[in-house]
Amino acid sequence: MNFVEAIRDGHLYQLSNNELCYIIGLGVNYPNGADGSTKGLAILYPERVLDVPVSELSFTGMAVGMAAQGLRPVVHHGRIEFAMLAFDQIFTQASRWNYMFGGDYPCPISLRICIGRQWGNGPQHTANYHSMFIQSPGLDVFIPATPEDVFRGLIYSSSIDRPSVFLESRWLYRTSQDFEATFDNSQGKFETASIYGEGNDFTLLTYGDGLVDCLKFIDFCNENYGYHGRVICLKYFHADLRYSEELIQAILNSNNVLAVDTAPFEGGLLASFIGYAVTHHKHESLKVEKCSPPHHPCPTSPLLVGEYYPNIKSIAASLSNFGFTFNELPELLFDDLHVAPNFDYSDYKYVNIY
Amino acid sequence: MLNLDSSLKLLSKMVRIRAVEELIANDFLNNKIFSFLHLSIGQESAAVGVCSALNTEDLVMGNHRSHHHYLAKGGDLEKMIYEIYGDSRGCCKGFGGSMHMLDRSVGFVGSTPILGSVAPLGTGIGFYLKATKRDNIAVIFIGDGAAEEGAFYESINLAALFKVPILFVIEDNKYSVISSHSDRKSKDYSYSKIIEGLGATYVNMAAKDVAEVNSTVTSLKAGILQGRKPAVLHLDVVRGVYGHSGPLKENAPHYRVNDNIDFITANDCIGFYKDKLIVDGGIEADVIETLIEEEIKEVETVFFNVRSNIKIRI
């Protein structure tokens, strides 16, 4: 199942299990709506899969109002830059709703917001503002990295009463994974991160679309250099408790941490997590390096994009600051840098932490 | 012919709102209140006229200036006072303050101060009423400043498109803080062309007569439910002597040039309705005065009782 199919299956579960659920967004009723992630749903549920005027602020606000009265709307924004027109409703209304009214007044809106890299999209279609969402209490934030993450996340989000935001990387839409498409919500929790690999020479800390290159790098090191590392991939941030104790312990118990961020590092999600983890435990020391894009927007031309995002070579270069040596690195092809990956996660084992 | 009982109820409700706001204003000036405050004094007839035409199950949302909407819809007076003073017995347990009124038991489903924000929220509330097949409408109150935000226009279009049962009420007190309409709109600006052009019913009237507002809303509500078409009620109200925020009497040059203190007094909605009941309703003046005095006394009793229970810098 690929990433897009996993979203669609998640929506099918939501629509068929709860008649209060609505899918709202520009073109979600098209034959290949929302990049295929809502394909065919409007035929099955014409009253609850709704195309809307190009009024991002107001259709999002309408969904906030619906949610506050007990409906379960899921709103889709095709790019973060358009969702930003609705930030008043997402941040100032939905995230604070239950809090500002003194509790017992939930607002279970769910938002799917496409974010980050895509070829040819340029400075105004590829921003990575994950950290803004993390900084706002009141929103459950999901950053799915795999088809299984997004499927399970959508189903989990239907069971909670807090507003939830999925920061969805379109770059990952062609990735695939074999997994059992069922999810038992009875445990009442969702993994805050997953750890891939068991090596302890180094730890790559990443999230979302950073995972693919991190896994490729782990394979490359195992095969060519005998360095054995692991990846901690952040996946879910609870509205009230952003970083769990287990997650903080996991990072503090890691050797040679390399933050692999697909957003500029300054003020970003990984910088703030590392800062929190280190200061949370009486100023523990942690050896950290970073591998991230430069602090400017992503340009459009592939020639200018070049190696803007982290890749096997730049991860190796950053890791060499810890003393690892890499004599020979693979040549990166155009497709490695500029085309969304067909990566298959199926053979990668992981352990969830909560 | 006025129905005596309901007319007196409209009057006493307006008096009740003004009485408590005057008491609150006084404490605010004496640094006893640490919640941002926007008073509705002068605009009571808009809230009472609209809300008295609604059922409990009609759902209302307000804005930063919503004490009158909350009380007119039947919101709990004690909980409002506690909330404004930041006490945990308040309607939002002190988390919200004056700009967050809430009493879901009477269908006042919240107020939120980001102006036009309430228009899409109300559209969603109306959507919910329609989706759950209720014979009720959503009502939102915004000011003439908020009605300049895009969210308002977008929401009318959304509501008309989805046939959402909603009444948008503009309380037009002529000022955004102290900017007048001519500072903010071209001389060709037309509410009716815009709103009717978006597919909603548009009615503009003075809110001075609370009973007229009531009967207009009664027929608008019926039209919204039968015609499956949203409506905008544009009420011309007169801001009392207080300014935009807090009980501060703003004295900026060129502010309130035409509507000076004499105008405000002459057009006061409570004074107007009192006179109307005497002249047209044939009610003895002293009956009305007694009713007003009793209402004020009752509010004072509740107010000072609640206030005596509050520990925050009283």
Which pTM does this prediction carry?
0.96
pLDDT higher than 50, residue B82: yes
- Please tell me the predicted confidence (pLDDT) of residue B312: 78
Mean pLDDT of A69-79: 98
Q: B118-131 vs B150-161: helix axis angle to the nearest 10?
A: 10
For B121, the closest of A93, A102, A105 (CB atoms) is: A93
- With contacts defined as CB-CB under 8 Å, which chain A residues touch B162? 50
**How far apart are the C-alpha atoms of A60 and B123, rounded to whole Å?**
11
Q: Do residues B141 and B173 make contact, with C-beta atoms less than 8 angstroms apart?
A: no
d(CA B2, nearest CA chain A) in Å? 37
How many CB atoms are closer than 10 A to CB B88?
A: 11
**How far apart are the C-alpha atoms of B265 and B260, rounded to whole Å?**
9
Q: Do residues A320 and A329 make contact, with C-beta atoms less than 8 angstroms apart?
A: no
- Please tell me the predicted confidence (pLDDT) of residue B141: 98
- Please tell me the predicted confidence (pLDDT) of residue A310: 97
ipTM value for the complex: 0.96
- With contacts defined as CB-CB under 8 Å, which chain A residues touch B114? 88, 92-93
Mean pLDDT of A14-23: 97
pLDDT higher than 80, residue B250: no
- Please tell me the predicted confidence (pLDDT) of residue B314: 67
- Please tell me the predicted confidence (pLDDT) of residue B262: 87
Give the pLDDT confidence of A227-271 residue by residue, as tens digits: 999 999 999 999 999 999 999 999 999 999 999 999 999 999 999
Element (H, E) at A272: helix A269-280
pLDDT higher than 50, residue B68: yes
Strand partners, A207: A234
Per the domain annotation, does B313 fall within a domain? no
CB contact under 8 A, A64 and B121: yes
What is the CATH classification number for the domain harbouring B83?
3.40.50.970
Tokens matching residue B107: 């269908």
Query: What are the residue ranges of helices labelled H in chain B?
Result: 4-29, 44-51, 67-72, 77-84, 118-131, 150-161, 181-184, 191-197, 210-227, 261-266, 269-279, 285-308
Q: How many domains are there within chain B?
A: 1
CB contact under 8 A, B120 and A92: no
- With contacts defined as CB-CB under 8 Å, which chain B residues touch A49? none
- Please tell me the predicted confidence (pLDDT) of residue B2: 59
Mean pLDDT of A329-349: 94
Is the Cα dihedral B112, B115, B117, B120 positive or negative? positive
Mean pLDDT of A279-303: 92
pLDDT higher than 80, residue A38: yes
Burial readout A75-90 (b: 16 or more C-beta within 10 A, e: otherwise) = bbbbbbbbbbbbbbbb
Spatial neighbors of B76 by CB under 8 A, at least 6 apart, are B91, B103, B105, B106
CB contact under 8 A, A102 and B94: yes
Provide the percentage of residues in chain B whose pLDDT is more than 70: 97
Tokens matching residue B2: 């006025």
Q: Which amino acid is at B102?
A: L
The answer, for B230 touching chain A at a CB cutoff of 8 Å, is no
**Domain range A195-353, its CATH number among 3.30.420.40, 2.30.30.100, 3.40.50.720, 3.40.50.920:** 3.40.50.920
Tokens matching residue B36: 């941002």
Is the Cα dihedral A142, A144, A149, A151 positive or negative? positive
**How far apart are the C-alpha atoms of B277 and B3, rounded to whole Å?**
10
Mean pLDDT of A319-325: 96
- Please tell me the predicted confidence (pLDDT) of residue A291: 98
Q: Do residues B63 and B141 make contact, with C-beta atoms less than 8 angstroms apart?
A: yes
**Conformational region of residue A282, where left means phi above 0, alpha means psi within -120 to 50, and beta covers everything else:** left
**How far apart are the C-alpha atoms of A352 and B246, rounded to whole Å?**
52
Q: What is the DSSP letter of B139?
A: E
For A58, the closest of B92, B95, B158 (CB atoms) is: B158
Mean pLDDT of A327-354: 94
Mean pLDDT of A23-39: 97
pLDDT higher than 70, residue B1: no
**How far apart are the C-alpha atoms of B96 and A133, rounded to whole Å?**
22
Domains A3-187 and A195-353 fall in the same CATH topology: yes
- Please tell me the predicted confidence (pLDDT) of residue B157: 98
Spatial neighbors of A286 by CB under 8 A, at least 6 apart, are A251, A252, A254, A257, A274, A277, A278
**How far apart are the C-alpha atoms of A58 and B160, rounded to whole Å?**
13
**How far apart are the C-alpha atoms of A85 and A65, rounded to whole Å?**
17
Residue whose C-alpha is closest to residue B264's, from B287, B280, B240: B240
Q: What is the DSSP letter of B297?
A: H
Tokens matching residue A285: 């020391």
- Chain B residue with CA closest to A57: the answer is B151
Q: Is A342 exposed, middle or buried (0-12, 13-18, 19+ CB in 10 A)?
A: exposed
- At residue A354, the 3 state secondary structure works out as coil
**How far apart are the C-alpha atoms of A176 and A196, rounded to whole Å?**
16
**How far apart are the C-alpha atoms of B210 and A283, rounded to whole Å?**
65
Give the pLDDT confidence of B130-188 residue by residue, as tens digits: 999 999 999 999 999 999 999 999 999 999 999 999 999 999 999 898 899 999 999 99
Mean pLDDT of B183-207: 97
Per the domain annotation, does B102 fall within a domain? yes
pLDDT higher than 70, residue B216: yes
Provide the percentage of residues in chain A whose pLDDT is more than 70: 99
pLDDT higher than 80, residue B249: no
Give the pLDDT confidence of A118-156 residue by residue, as tens digits: 999 999 999 999 999 999 999 999 999 999 999 999 999
Strand partners, A203: A230, A257
Question: What integer best gives the mean pLDDT of chain B?
Answer: 94
Spatial neighbors of A27 by CB under 8 A, at least 6 apart, are A33, A34, A51, A78
Q: Do residues A237 and A273 make contact, with C-beta atoms less than 8 angstroms apart?
A: no
A-B contacts at Cβ under 8 angstroms: 113
How many CB atoms are closer than 10 A to CB B257?
A: 8
Spatial neighbors of A280 by CB under 8 A, at least 6 apart, are A243, A248
Tokens matching residue A182: 């069922």
**How far apart are the C-alpha atoms of B59 and B69, rounded to whole Å?**
11
Q: Write down the domain spans for chain A.
A: 3-187, 195-353
Mean pLDDT of B211-217: 98
Helices H / strands E in chain A, number of each: 14, 13
The answer, for B157 touching chain A at a CB cutoff of 8 Å, is yes
Give the pLDDT confidence of A161-197 residue by residue, as tens digits: 999 999 999 999 999 999 998 877 767 899 999 999 9
**How far apart are the C-alpha atoms of B109 and B140, rounded to whole Å?**
10
Tokens matching residue A109: 């809106």
Q: Which pLDDT band holds residue A328 (cuts at 50, 70, 90)?
A: confident
Give the CATH number of domain A3-187.
3.40.50.970
